[in-house]
Amino acid sequence: MEVVKEIKNGKNFYPLAISETINHHYKKMQHQTTYKWLLLLLGLPVHLIVALLYFLRGKTNHSLEVQHQVQRQLLENGYKEKLRERFKEQLSRKHAFFQQEVSHATTEKIVEAWSEESYRKILLERTNELLEQRGKRKTTYVEFFSSQINNPFFLAVTLIPGLLMYVLIFLYSNAYMKYIAERLVMSFFVIIGVAFFVFTIMYLSPFNPAANILGEAATREQIASFNQLYGLDQSYFVQLWNAIQGIVTFDLGRSFTGNEDVASSIIRRFPVTMILAVISLLMAIMIAIPIGIISATRPNSFFDYTFMFIALIGLSIPNFWQGLIFILNFSIKLQWLPATFSPHNWLSIIMPAVVLGTALTASIARMTRSSTLEIINEDYMITAKAKGLNKHQVLWKHGVGNAMIPIITVIGLLFGGMLGGAAVTEKVFNINGIGSYIVDKQFIPDIPSVMGGVVYIAITISLVNLLIDILYAFFDPRIRSKMKQY
């Protein structure tokens, strides 16, 4: 630990210090099962060599060392000479009792054989006892591997074959990098889980893609040929594996309708939905958070009732109705804004963004009000006021930061819903985005297209959730301290 602290302070930055740091984090990772197995898999070439050394060391040198140690102790205590004297006395008594006359040479020979046999048995028993006792404190493989890491030469030799393992240890040593990496791994499994459920639901769907696309006049041979062309005649598990494999390799295949590349189609449509969602989100944040804070600082006032009433209306208005009303008034009657979306006219994004962001603004405003109102009445806020800080300082220095945690959570959840729920708004304003694309394809069902669209949305939502987790640590020092503890 002292070496680690010195490295953090910029001192003693030598290969030995680096080895000590890696060893320190390696031992910590052994207490977590997931990281323990990851270290073993990523550093498998290194572990195979070290395990062989550990096995040979444990089978040969260890037992011989203990045996030599016991033998030295017995010789120092004169145990063998004591055995000889005891056996010689026993043999003399036996001969005297039976009145036997035995030569001195024969007696010495018998005594030497008895003492040697007994000495070997005692040596073996003592060695085994000591080995069993040390077996409870026997050097484990982790301790042996850890001792090897402490050697800078070992670290240099194993750097290339164990590069992935050392990269993992480096990520673990940095609390923020570890935090981000863990959530990226979790996001990967979430995306695979989403792909599994979406594919399973569409596979069990009663719709027949071949019949829907080819029409009622299609023959059995045409339907069979269509199914064979797109692999729909294969088993469930084969199709599922192909779909997941395509997601991992970003090769989503070709759509059933139009025979167009799914990845290219999604890449063309996804930015439109993303831009629409981001503009709506920024509009909602800039309007809702100030309104929510003002309402919380003036509870039960005219401003509070007015803002919350407008927010309630915003939550109650359906998107499609609001969009049609906007088109009727601002496009047809007033002719201020275009009725349909055009990528070359930035004015055409205003109405869709406002329609999509209305419910989001209302939700964030209400959450900001309730969260800020709860924080204002906390004991530490009252204490800050008692110390002489004015209301403005107390609110912005101690209140808003703590109130942002539930607000960030709501923003993340609603943003994910916007990506998937933008289909209605896109249909109203004729926006060729990912939402309307999935809606058009799911009734066929065009499995590659729907899978691609849903997976891209799942990836985006996972990245947004990762950003939210990072913002948690930014706003809440308690989360930062917990991150550094693990």
Q: What is the pLDDT of residues 262-304, one digit of tens each?
A: 888 888 888 888 888 888 888 888 888 888 888 887 777 887 7
pLDDT at 476: 65
pLDDT at 481: 63
Phi, psi of 310, deg, nearest 5:
-65, -40
Residue 20: pLDDT band (50, 70, 90) is: confident
Over range 365-387, report the average pLDDT.
76
Same domain, 276 and 416: yes
pLDDT in tens, 154-169: 878 888 888 888 888 8
pLDDT at 284: 86
Going 140 to 143 to 145 to 147, the CA torsion angle's sign is negative
CATH number at residue 403: 1.10.3720.10
Q: Which two tokens stand for residue 60?
A: 């040969």
Q: Is the pLDDT of residue 171 over 50?
A: yes
Residue 344: pLDDT band (50, 70, 90) is: confident
Same domain, 160 and 308: no
How many domains does the chain divide into? 3
The per-residue pLDDT of the chain, averaged, comes to 77
Same domain, 219 and 283: no
Considering the domain boundaries, does residue 367 fall inside one?
yes
Q: For residue 425, give the nearest of 317, 288, 292, 299 by alpha carbon.
A: 317
Considering the domain boundaries, does residue 193 fall inside one?
yes
Considering the domain boundaries, does residue 225 fall inside one?
yes
Mark which of 110, 142, 173 sits at the end of a domain: 173
Considering the domain boundaries, does residue 183 fall inside one?
yes
Same domain, 352 and 331: yes
Same domain, 181 and 156: no
pLDDT at 480: 62
Considering the domain boundaries, does residue 47 fall inside one?
yes
Residues 6+ apart with CB under 8 A from 401: 475, 476
Cα separations in angstroms, 258 against 254, 255, 262, 446: 9, 7, 10, 11
pLDDT at 484: 58
Over range 46-63, report the average pLDDT.
70
Same domain, 120 and 226: no
Domain that holds residue 190: 176-248
Contact assessment for residue 348 and residue 341, using Cβ atoms and an 8 Å cutoff: yes
Cα of 127 vs its chain's centroid, Å: 49
Of all residues in the chain, the percent with pLDDT exceeding 70 is 85
Same domain, 277 and 411: yes
Same domain, 207 and 295: no
Mark which of 149, 173, 197 sits at the end of a domain: 173
Considering the domain boundaries, does residue 448 fall inside one?
no
Q: Is the pLDDT of residue 81 over 50?
A: yes
pLDDT at 73: 77
Same domain, 27 and 104: yes
Q: Is the pLDDT of residue 11 over 50?
A: no
Same domain, 326 and 427: yes
Considering the domain boundaries, does residue 473 fall inside one?
no
> Which of 119-123, 140-144, 219-223, 321-325 shows the lowest per-residue confidence on average (mean pLDDT)?
140-144
Mark which of 173, 197, 218 sits at the end of a domain: 173
Rounded Cα–Cα distance for residues 254 and 259 (Å): 5
Over range 375-403, report the average pLDDT.
70
Q: For residue 371, give the nearest of 314, 315, 316, 409 by alpha carbon.
A: 409
Considering the domain boundaries, does residue 475 fall inside one?
no
Same domain, 12 and 119: yes
Q: Which two tokens stand for residue 219?
A: 């023959």
pLDDT at 56: 72
pLDDT at 398: 65
Same domain, 298 and 376: yes
| Residue with token string 């060599």 | 49
Cα separations in angstroms, 12 against 8, 17, 91, 150: 10, 7, 70, 15
Over range 374-398, report the average pLDDT.
70
